[in-house]
Amino acid sequence: MQLYNTLSNTERAALIQQAGKDRLTISFYKYFKITNPEALRNQLFLFWNRIDVLGRIYVAHEGINAQLSIPADHLDAFKSHLDTIDFLKNVRINIAVEHDLFSFLKLKVKVRDKIVSDGLNDATFDSSDIGTHVNASEFNSLIEDDNTVVVDMRNHYESEIGHFKNAVIPDVDTFRESLDLIEEDLKDHKETKKLVMYCTGGIRCEKASAYYKHKGFKNVYQLEGGIINYAREVAAEGIENKFIGKNFVFDQRRAEKISEDVIASCHQCGEPADIHVNCANDACHLLFIQCDPCKQTMENCCSSNCMEVNRLPSEVQKSLRKGQGNSNDIFKKGRADHLPHKKDLRNVFETLSKP
C-alpha cells in the first residue's frame, strides 16, 4: 500500500504541464478531537493520491489543517469524499484568489502533535470555545469602531507585505510569541474593548479566540475564513476593501495580491518591493524581500558572501555544507543583520490611544 510520494518535484511539474488541466489552490481546517490521527492520515492520502491532490496537510489529535492543489475537475469528488468523514462534512473550503499550476508539487499528509504550534500546555483550555465569527461586511464595521482593537495574528514577515488599515501588528516571529504578548498589552481592556483578530485563512484566529476567551476577554471576534475569504467576499459583494498590499501564503506562490499597494521595501536597497525570495545559496536559504534590480545584481542572493559561495561548483558547495546544518539566518525570516533595509516593526497598540 503506497503511502508516500514517488515522484520528484521536477517529474511532478512535467506531468502537471502535460496534463494541461486547470488546478485550484484551496485550504481548509477543522478543530476536532481525532482519536486516531494516523488512521485518518492514511485514509486521506490513499484517496487524495488517486485524484491527483497535492499539498501540505497536518493531522493531530486536535484536528486537521490542509493546504492543497487540486485539478479543478476533481473538486466535486474531493468535496464528496470530505462529506463521508463526519466532522469534515460541509467544512468551509477557502479557494485562493490567485491560482498556480505548481503551488504544490507533492502530497504530504503528516501526523503532528498540533495542527498549529502554539506552545500552550494548559489542560483547562478548551479550543472549541471560540469567539464570534464575522464576515467581510461585519469585519469592516467592527474595525471602524473606536472601541475595537484589530490585531494581526500573523508573523512579521507576513504582515510586512500586507495588512488591514489601523491593525496592530505584533513584532513576532511565531504565533506562539503573539499569544502572551497581546494578552499582556491588552490586560487592562479585557472587558471594555472589542478584540477583533484576523490571519491568513482563520486557523490561528480560531485558536487565539478560544485562548483569549479562556483568559477573560469578554468581546472576542475573528474574521471568518481569514484574509483569503475576505478578499473573495469583497470582490463578490462589492464591499470596500480595507486590506492593503499582499496576503502572504505558504506555498510556491508566496503571496496573493489583494490591493495594488506596495507597502514593503527591498531589504537590500530600500526601494518599494513586496516579493519574498529565498537566498540562492542553499546553505543560507534566507527568506527576504528582494526587488528585481537587486535580484540581478546580487544573483538571487542575500549577501556578497552568499553570492561567492553560490558561484562555486555544486559539488564544492555540497562539501562545504556537509555536517554544517542550516545557517541560523534561515530562521530570521528577513531580519538578518546583513540586510540594511530589514523591517524593524514595533509592537505599539496605537488603537488604544484613540479618544
Domains of the chain, each with CATH number or no CATH: 9-111 (3.30.70.100)
Residue 1 in this model has a pLDDT that exceeds 60: no
Task: Round to whole Å and give the CA distance between 239 and 166.
Answer: 18
Q: HSE of 32 in the Cβ direction (CA atoms, 13 Å)? A: 18
Q: Write the pLDDT tens digit of every residue in 37-52.
A: 999 999 999 999 999 9
Burial of 102 (0-12, 13-18, 19+ CB in 10 A): middle
Place of cell 558572501: 305
pLDDT of the residue at 120: 78
Q: Rg of the chain over CA atoms, in angstroms?
A: 21
The letter for the amino acid at 211 is Y
Of the residues 199, 279, 302, 306, only one is catalytic, namely 199
- Percentage helix, strand, coil, to 5, in the chain? 35, 20, 45
Strand partners, 31: 63
Residue 262 in this model has a pLDDT that exceeds 80: yes
Q: Write the pLDDT tens digit of every residue in 198-246.
A: 999 999 999 999 999 999 999 999 999 999 999 999 999 999 999 999 9
Task: Round to whole Å and give the CA distance between 290 and 10.
Answer: 25
Q: Write the pLDDT tens digit of every residue in 121-175.
A: 766 777 788 999 999 999 999 999 999 999 999 999 999 999 998 899 988 888 8
Q: Write the pLDDT tens digit of every residue in 280-314.
A: 999 999 999 999 999 999 999 999 999 999 999 99
Alpha helix (H) ranges present in 51-148?
A: 75-83, 136-143
pLDDT of the residue at 2: 57
- 291 is annotated as an active-site residue: no
Task: Round to whole Å and give the CA distance between 222 and 235.
Answer: 20
Give the E-state strand segments of the chain in sequence order: 23-31, 54-60, 63-71, 94-95, 107-111, 132-134, 148-152, 162-164, 194-198, 220-223, 243-248, 255-257, 276-278, 287-289
Q: Write the pLDDT tens digit of every residue in 74-106.
A: 999 999 999 999 999 999 999 988 888 889 999
Confidence of residue 352 (pLDDT cuts 50, 70, 90): very low
The pTM for the full model equals 0.84
pLDDT of the residue at 349: 46
Question: Running DSSP on this structure, what letter comes out for residue 94?
Answer: E
